[in-house]
Each structure stands twice: as C-alpha cells, then as structure tokens.
Amino acid sequence: LAVDNADESINLQSNEIRWKSVTGNRPWLAGTLLERLCALIDVDTLTQLLEACDQGAEGEGAQNGAQNS
C-alpha cells in the first residue's frame, strides 16, 4: 500500500469497529468502520500474504528457468 497524502489521523474506539469474527476470503481484513465506510486492515497478516506471494513467484521463476534449459 502507498499513500501520497493523508488528510487526517483519527483515534478509534473499539465500539466504532465491526470486528470480523470469521476468517474467510479476506484474512487481511480485521474489521469495518461503518460510519466512515472503510476497512480496517490487519497489516501483519497482509504482510505475510504478500511475502508468501513473492516467495511463490520466485520459486516459479526458478522452475521455469530449469524447464527451459
């Protein structure tokens, strides 16, 4: 994720967040802020998912190189 400009920083109270209770198709989604219509992201989980994708892509490149030899 990248941000060019952040207009404001807010402090959240736990009762303002509808916390996700079941891990499903979006494990990176921690909850939803209904009043602001936005998602609260679990940064640690998102980082792990992105790193796993990178490692998978590196492995595929090595496999394709071996097949082309």
* Per-residue confidence in pLDDT tens, the chain, 69 aa: 788 998 888 899 999 999 998 878 899 999 999 898 899 999 999 999 999 998 887 776 655 555 554
Q: Indicate the pTM of the whole model.
A: 0.67
Predicted pLDDT at 64: 56
Nearest to 64 by CA among 56, 18, 11, 53: 56
Predicted pLDDT at 1: 73
What does the CA dihedral 39, 24, 1, 15 come to, rounded to 10 degrees? 30
Predicted pLDDT at 63: 58
Strand partners, 19: 31
